[in-house]
């Protein structure tokens, strides 16, 4: 029977909520496992969950430097979408979307997935044409997309400055109705509980300090809580990829770590019931169920492992917000924070076996990793279990850069600052 149900809620409420089990145990690390996953964020936890559920591999440890979900899974702006141009990305993110659509049911945990739509605004006829092209590419692969006129956008988002006197007048937009938002903490907790109940050990406050080797083969990790051996070691550490790979002796990667900031305002009454993105800069916004506007923009633009950003980007993001929504000029910002993103050289991720024997690598999520969480875990689990990629992640290799097979959705070249 499901652990959480209307009945269990009522029964526990009557008993003073004293009988709830912790959502996951706090085990000490064992001496060895079949699989160690480094990184207890969304992707690592989802990988553990699908390893146990889809492949029956339950002798698994997830080792996390801090506390569960302390990294990017709790720092993103919660948007979920699958509106890509290139087939490899479209297929992968659409698989993710389909997993999202059933995730609360699958995990018996309410991740508050809300398909409120994601609207990309176009500000020039050329951009509108470009969106038509992307929308057609999406529909060609079975993903929903529709072009919206100015009048339709005005009805959808009354607060948007749609006038001809706007700094960058809106011409139209591309809408994906099935896109939306989810509660990011619940995603981490739901996957953690699902993995834990299937026997996975989630070991928090356990920092990996090095790798154990058996000849050429990676055979475990040294951690702040002792050595742990495993037949397979999987790395899913997002912004810390550079640091962890250096521990394994790999100095250079097609990745730069950059900081991305996010912001939330004080709570407002219902203001916007979709996710909207600005086409003349880099800005996106949605409203949480609590009422705060959640928004963000560009990365700071230079290598950073600091989980905080600098002021020029704050200034730019606010300007872009006011260009779209002049009515927000006097709304107060409550909080801002930063997360470290693993920016790849083509803007697309890496989910692969290797690069060392016994190692598996999941990285390069740029600032779009949250929406990928279910598919990333699903594909990474497949790759670890079968020692080969699934068709969905076969294009996302590490050696694609050296083989001329980059997946550059925006066509920006090897410049992470521009992805």
Partner 1 sequence: MLITCPYCGPRDVIEFTYQGDGNRERPDPASQNFEAWNAYVYDRLNPAGDHNEIWQHSGGCRTHLRVVRNTLTHEISSVAFVRGDHQGRGDHGSAARRKAEDKS
- Binding of partner 1 by 256 (CB under 8 A): yes
* Sole binder of partner 1 in the list 74, 172, 254, 389 (CB under 8 A): 254
d(CA 283, CA 278): 5
- Binding of partner 1 by 257 (CB under 8 A): yes
* Three-state secondary structure call for residue 84: coil
Spatial CA neighbour of 184 closest among 287, 75, 279: 75
- Binding of partner 1 by 249 (CB under 8 A): no
Stretch that binds partner 1, among 66-74, 85-93, 272-280, 295-303 (CB under 8 A): 295-303
Between residues 138 and 253, which has the closer beta carbon with respect to partner 1?
253
Q: Compute φ and ψ for 406, nearest 5 degrees.
A: -65, 155
What contacts 15, CB < 8 A, 6 or more positions away? none
Q: Compute φ and ψ for 180, nearest 5 degrees.
A: 170, -145
Between residues 301 and 326, which has the closer beta carbon with respect to partner 1?
301
List the x/- string, 219-248, binding to partner 1 by CB under 8 A. ---------------------xxxx--x--
Stretch that binds partner 1, among 78-86, 144-152, 255-263, 325-333 (CB under 8 A): 255-263
Between residues 4 and 401, which has the closer beta carbon with respect to partner 1?
401
- Binding of partner 1 by 133 (CB under 8 A): no
* Sole binder of partner 1 in the list 32, 108, 303, 336 (CB under 8 A): 303
- Binding of partner 1 by 304 (CB under 8 A): yes
Long-range contacts of 245-250 (CB under 8 A, 24+ apart): 245/361, 247/208, 247/209, 247/210, 247/211, 248/211, 248/218, 248/356, 248/359, 250/355, 250/356
Stretch that binds partner 1, among 147-155, 265-273, 274-282, 304-312 (CB under 8 A): 304-312
- Binding of partner 1 by 251 (CB under 8 A): yes
Residue with tokens 């659509």: 101
Between residues 312 and 411, which has the closer beta carbon with respect to partner 1?
312
* Sole binder of partner 1 in the list 51, 60, 179, 253 (CB under 8 A): 253
Structural tokens at position 184: 């990011």
Q: Go through the chain and tell me how many residues it has.
A: 419
List the x/- string, 84-123, binding to partner 1 by CB under 8 A. ----------------------------------------
Spatial CA neighbour of 148 closest among 130, 124, 121, 123: 121
- Binding of partner 1 by 209 (CB under 8 A): no
Sheet holding 255-267, edge to edge: 146-149, 172-176, 118-122, 275-278, 283-287, 292-303, 255-267, 333-344
Q: Respond yes or no on whether the N-terminal peptide bond of residue 53 is cis (omega within 30° of 0).
A: no
* Sole binder of partner 1 in the list 9, 10, 126, 306 (CB under 8 A): 306
Structural tokens at position 290: 């609590």
d(CA 348, CA 408): 7
Spatial CA neighbour of 228 closest among 6, 377, 40, 62: 62
Rounded least distance, CB 301 to partner 1, Å = 5
List the x/- string, 327-366, binding to partner 1 by CB under 8 A. ------------------x---------------------
Binding site for partner 1 (CB under 8 A): 240-243, 246, 251-257, 301-306, 310, 312, 345, 401-402, 414-417
């Amino acid at each position: 029977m499901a652990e959480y149900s209307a009945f269990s809620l009522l029964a526990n409420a009557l008993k003073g909520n004293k009988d709830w089990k912790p959502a996951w145990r706090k085990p000490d690390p064992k001496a060895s496992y079949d699989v160690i996953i480094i990184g207890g964020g969304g992707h690592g936890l989802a990988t553990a969950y699908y390893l146990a559920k889809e492949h029956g591999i339950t002798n698994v440890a997830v080792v996390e430097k801090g506390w569960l979900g302390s990294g990017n899974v709790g720092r993103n702006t919660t948007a979920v979408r699958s509106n890509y141009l290139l087939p490899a990305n479209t297929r992968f993110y659409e698989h993710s979307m389909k997993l999202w659509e059933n995730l609360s049911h699958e995990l018996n945990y309410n991740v508050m997935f809300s398909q409120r739509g994601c609207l990309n605004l176009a500000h020039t006829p050329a951009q509108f044409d470009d969106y038509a092209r992307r929308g057609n590419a999406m529909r060609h692969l079975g993903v929903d997309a529709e072009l919206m006129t100015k009048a339709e956008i005005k009805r959808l988002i009354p607060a948007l400055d749609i006038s001809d006197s706007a700094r960058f007048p809106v011409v139209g937009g591309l809408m994906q109705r099935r896109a939306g938002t989810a509660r990011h903490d619940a995603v981490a907790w739901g996957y953690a509980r699902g993995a834990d109940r299937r026997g996975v050990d989630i070991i928090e406050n356990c920092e990996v300090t090095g790798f154990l080797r058996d000849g050429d083969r990676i055979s475990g990790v040294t951690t702040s809580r002792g050595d742990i051996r495993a037949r397979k070691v999987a790395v899913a550490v997002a912004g810390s990829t550079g640091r962890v790979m250096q521990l394994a002796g790999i100095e250079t990667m097609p990745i730069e770590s950059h900081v991305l900031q996010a912001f939330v305002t004080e709570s407002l009454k219902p203001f916007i019931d979709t996710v909207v993105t600005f086409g003349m800069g880099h800005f996106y916004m949605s409203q949480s169920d609590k009422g705060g506007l959640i928004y963000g923009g560009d990365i700071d633009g230079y290598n950073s492992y600091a989980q905080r950003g600098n002021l020029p980007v704050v200034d730019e993001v606010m300007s872009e917000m006011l260009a779209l929504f002049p009515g927000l000029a006097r709304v107060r910002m409550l909080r801002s924070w930063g997360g470290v993103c693993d920016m790849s050289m083509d803007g697309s991720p890496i989910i692969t076996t290797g690069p060392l024997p016994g190692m598996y690598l999941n990285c390069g999520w740029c600032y779009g990793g949250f929406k990928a969480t279910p598919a990333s875990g699903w594909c990474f689990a497949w790759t670890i279990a079968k020692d080969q990629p699934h068709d969905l992640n076969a294009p996302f290799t590490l050696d694609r850069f050296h083989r001329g097979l980059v997946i550059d959705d925006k066509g920006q070249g090897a410049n992470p600052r521009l992805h």
